[in-house]
Every structure is written in C-alpha cells, then in structure tokens.
Chain A
Amino acid sequence: METYGRHEYPGRLFIVEGVDGSGKSTQIALLRQWLISEGYTVFFSEWNSSPLVKKTTSRGKKKQLLTPTTFSLIHATDFADRTEHDIIPPLKAGAIVLADRYIYTAFARDVARNVDRQWVRELYQFAVKPTMAFYYRVPLEVSLSRILTGRSELKYYEAGMDLGLSNDPAESFKLFQQRIVNEYEAMVDEFDLTVMDATLPIPEQQRRMRTLIRPYLQSVRRIRTSAQDSAWAGLAREMRPSHADLQGRHRG
C-alpha cells in the first residue's frame, strides 16, 4: 500500500474543496468541459458516491446510527472504494482525474465533529496526494445565504445536529459551518491548498483556475487534439488561398 505523497502516476489529480455554497462544483464542472474539449481523457469522482458503500451511509444517516467516529470511517470506506476504482487506475493510465471534494472535506467535517485531528489524518494515509488542491474561500454569510435561501430543510447530519450545538437546524448549521471553515483555513498551509476567491464572477474564477492548471498539463497525453485547435485547423484549410487564386494574383 502506498501512502500519501508516495504515489507516482503519469496522470494528474485536481480537486476542489470548500463549504457548501462556495461554488466549487460549478468550477470543477466547467474545468471538466474545458479539459474534454482540449482532448484530454478526464475521469470525474464525487464525494460519497461509492456504489458499495452509499447505501449503508444513507441508512446510517436515516436511522441516526452514526457517531462521529463511525461517520468518519464510513466516509473513509466510501473514499477508499473510489480511490481503488476511480482514482488510482485512471491516474496509472495517464488520465486527468477531477474530484469534487477530497480528503480535506473529511478532515474539516470530522474534526468539526470532534474526531481527533491526528487520527483522521492517519485514517486517510492511503489517499493519493493531488497535483493541485483548490480551496474555494467564501465569506460564511455568502455561502449560508446561497444554501439557506430556497432550501426548505436541512438534514440531521448536514446541519451538524448530532453535535448538539443548537436545537434549531439553521442555527446549528451555521455554527457547524463556522467550525468547518476554521478547519479549512488551518489546512491551507498544512496541505498547500491553492486558495481561490469564490466571490469573483464565475468566468473570472474559471479563467484563473485554467491558468493555474495549464503548466501541469504539458506532458499529459491527449486522445485527440483540442476541439479549438482542430476548429482553427479547419478554418485555416478553408481560408487557404486556392491554386487558381494564387495564379490570378500573379497575373494581376
């Protein structure tokens, strides 16, 4: 078993992190479209989506069977399945893997639930270290208003109700999110997260993300040339002056 920072694969792994409502999922979806149009093989993996584990997690949440420790372990199990299927094999094959949330989500949430900081870091030792990890930083009021408006109900664990911070789900959610933000901020230096300003306009954030990623794409194999390049090539072919034109010009 290789541990964090020891894996050496030809692929690239880019991940996004941030609280709910930071806009990170929008950004990684746009990045994915761009990479595909550039001709790269892209694999996408989402937090809490393992077909082997998902059902147990949702059952545990519904029946409120989860303690902070088993909550942490069940998510680590889900992440392990995705690491073994969706992350390591494509990276070995030289693909670009994108992940919406990564181990830092677990570190932030689990520690916010009072799981030991060191223990949870050890738990995820099997994870591949990302090529780049983007942290979408957003003021708490902004993310809360994005999440809480137009949402009728917060789920029990999502609102951190298991912590007993408040009996009011919205209030509990705010306190829980504040703890999560504190953990993220502390991880910026610890894990060398690239901080992105999530209050900027969406296209501007995306432009910056692409600029930062581009240097890491240099030796990555493409399955075809980028859509843009081939469009330019096509255009150039059409615009190329014909033999007759050239002849005419000579005569003129």
Chain B
Amino acid sequence: MTRLEFYGIDAIHLKERDEILPGRLIVIEGTDGVGRSTQLHLLRPWLESSGYAVVDTEMTRSELIGAGLKQAKEGHTLGPITLNLFYATDFVDRFESLILPALRAGFIVLTDRYIYSLMARAIVRGADPLWIRSIYGLALIPDAIFYLRISVDDLIPRVLQRGGFDHWESGMDMKMGGDLFDSFVNYQTRLLEQFDAMAGEYGFEVIDAVQPVERIVEQLKERMFPLLPQG
C-alpha cells in the first residue's frame, strides 16, 4: 500500500478523503540517455508475468497538456518559468488522472522519472528551489526511487550512440556553452549535481548505470520484489 505521505502540502486533499492506495508507486530516475526506458521495458513484462497489473507513465504524456507543451517547445518564446509550469501541469495531470486511479485500483505504477528530474531541471534553469519544491510538495512519496547514476564522461558515448545531442537535453535553451557539446557537458554536469544532492535527502536507491543492462535489471528486480504485494 502506498502511504498517504507527501513532501509538502497535500493540495489535492487525499488525506481528507481517507484514500486507500493498495497499489505501489515505483520511480525510475536518472538523467537523459542513462537507460531508464530500457529498464522499464524489461521490468514491465517481468511484473506482468508474475501477475501484477502495471501502468507506466512518463513526462509530456498528459492528455491535457502533452500536445500544447510539445508545440510550445517548438517555438522560440518559451521562458524558463513558463517551461517549468508547463511540466508541472503535465505532471499533476498525469498524477491525478493516471497515477492516483491506478494506485487506488491496486496497480503497480512504474514511472519513468518523477518530481526529482523536474525539480533538478527547474533549479538548473534558475528556478527558486523553495518555489519549485512547494509546487511538487503535493506529490506522494513513492514506495521506492531507483536512481540510475552515471557520470558525464560515461554518459557522452551513450548519448552519441543513441543519435547525438538533443537541444533540450543539452540545455541549449539556456545556452550553457558555445556549442551543443559544451552546453551538453555543462548542463548535464549541473543536473547530475542536483540529482546527487537529492539522493540523500529523498532516499534514492542508487544503481550504478555503467553496468551492463542485464546486471542492472537483476538488481532492480531484486530490490523491487520485497515491495510487491504478496499472495
């Protein structure tokens, strides 16, 4: 059962309604290109074949704002505060219309990123940390947060292999360097600093993402198993 515990204000009033959430909320966090979705693709069939119903979700997939956010990112007028709030709206829409109903119905919710990536990105873009934390304070504390940790040096070849440096994943909206590569290195270094700072505070279970894929998924399964509803 996911407990009714929050990092900040329970703005959706879940406690008032004495909500019971028999599902599990499991978060996979980590920076861009670290291999989160590869892991999720392996975990979902494993859970399902063990008999657990699974819902997965990731950023920008909200019905309300997914398309609008994509469109806004294509233009050249999107400012950092607006960008942060677009993402917050996307998150809360998915939280209320997908994550919560699934937890109520006893699903295992696997989420590709949660509030931590959103806060890290916002802070790197100059957001006031107290401000962004208070917004995401309405999020439930997950049953587990697995953080796939990598260094910038190890990240670079993976991102290149995957198809190169993306505009947003390089923080080019903030022009963090003279070219795409420099900006990528600066932006990702600062993101990783934020993740590392959050790891202790939010109790991330750190997994070394440099290991082979099969090795990582074994570790994830091993750590996830005791969290699952038994019987």
Instruction: Give chain A's interface residues, CB within 8 Å of chain B.
Output: 1, 3, 50-53, 55-56, 59-60, 65-67, 69-70, 73-74, 76-77, 80-81, 83-85, 114-116, 118-120, 122-123, 125-126
Smallest CB–CB gap between B223 and chain A, Å?
32
Choice from B67, B92, B130 contacting A73 with Cβ under 8 Å: B92
Smallest CB–CB gap between A59 and chain B, Å?
8
For B65, the chain A residues whose CB sits under 8 A away are 56, 60, 74
CB under 8 Å from chain A, chain B span 80-114: 80-82, 84-86, 88-89, 92-93, 96-97
Which one of B7-15, B28-36, B162-170, B192-200 is at the interface? B7-15
| Known contacts A52-B72, A56-B68, A119-B134, A73 near B81 by CB under 8 Å | no
Smallest CB–CB gap between A120 and chain B, Å?
8
A1 touches B127 (CB 8 A): yes
A126 touches B68 (CB 8 A): no
Choice from B63, B78, B82 contacting A65 with Cβ under 8 Å: B63
For A3, the chain B residues whose CB sits under 8 A away are 128, 131
| Known contacts A65-B63, A77-B89, A53 near B77 by CB under 8 Å | no
**What are 30 inter-chain pairs, A to B, with CB distance below 8 A?**
A1-B127, A52-B71, A52-B72, A52-B75, A52-B82, A56-B67, A60-B65, A65-B97, A67-B97, A70-B89, A76-B85, A77-B82, A77-B86, A77-B88, A80-B82, A80-B84, A80-B85, A81-B78, A81-B82, A85-B79, A116-B10, A119-B134, A119-B135, A120-B11, A122-B134, A122-B135, A123-B134, A125-B130, A125-B131, A126-B131
Smallest CB–CB gap between A44 and chain B, Å?
18
Instruction: Give chain B's interface residues, CB within 8 Å of chain A.
Output: 8-13, 63-65, 67-68, 71-72, 75, 77-82, 84-86, 88-89, 92-93, 96-97, 126-128, 130-131, 134-135, 137-138
Residue of B nearest to A51 (CB): B77
Smallest CB–CB gap between B139 and chain A, Å?
11
A52 touches B135 (CB 8 A): no
For B10, the chain A residues whose CB sits under 8 A away are 116
Q: For the complex, what is the distance from the CA of A77 to the CA of B64, rounded to whole Å?
A: 13
Residue of A nearest to B87 (CB): A77
Residue of A nearest to B127 (CB): A1
A123 touches B135 (CB 8 A): yes
Choice from A74, A116, A120 contacting B89 with Cβ under 8 Å: A74
A66 touches B64 (CB 8 A): yes
| Known contacts A56-B64, A116-B11, A122-B135, A70 near B96 by CB under 8 Å | yes
The 5 closest A-B pairs by CB, nearest first: A56-B68, A84-B79, A122-B134, A77-B85, A119-B11
A69 touches B92 (CB 8 A): yes
B128 touches A74 (CB 8 A): no
Residue of A nearest to B91 (CB): A73
B131 touches A122 (CB 8 A): yes
Q: For the complex, what is the distance from the CA of A58 to the CA of B8, rounded to whole Å?
A: 30
For B67, the chain A residues whose CB sits under 8 A away are 56
For A60, the chain B residues whose CB sits under 8 A away are 64-65
For A67, the chain B residues whose CB sits under 8 A away are 12, 92-93, 96-97
For A85, the chain B residues whose CB sits under 8 A away are 77, 79
Contacts A1-B126, A126-B131 known; list 7 others, CB within 8 Å: A52-B78, A52-B82, A70-B89, A84-B80, A84-B81, A115-B11, A125-B134
For A122, the chain B residues whose CB sits under 8 A away are 9, 131, 134-135
Q: For the complex, what is the distance from the CA of A50 to the CA of B75, rounded to whole Å?
A: 13
| Known contacts A53-B68, A69-B92, A69-B96, A114 near B86 by CB under 8 Å | no
Choice from A70, A80, A83, A125 contacting B92 with Cβ under 8 Å: A70
Residue of B nearest to A65 (CB): B64
For B97, the chain A residues whose CB sits under 8 A away are 65, 67
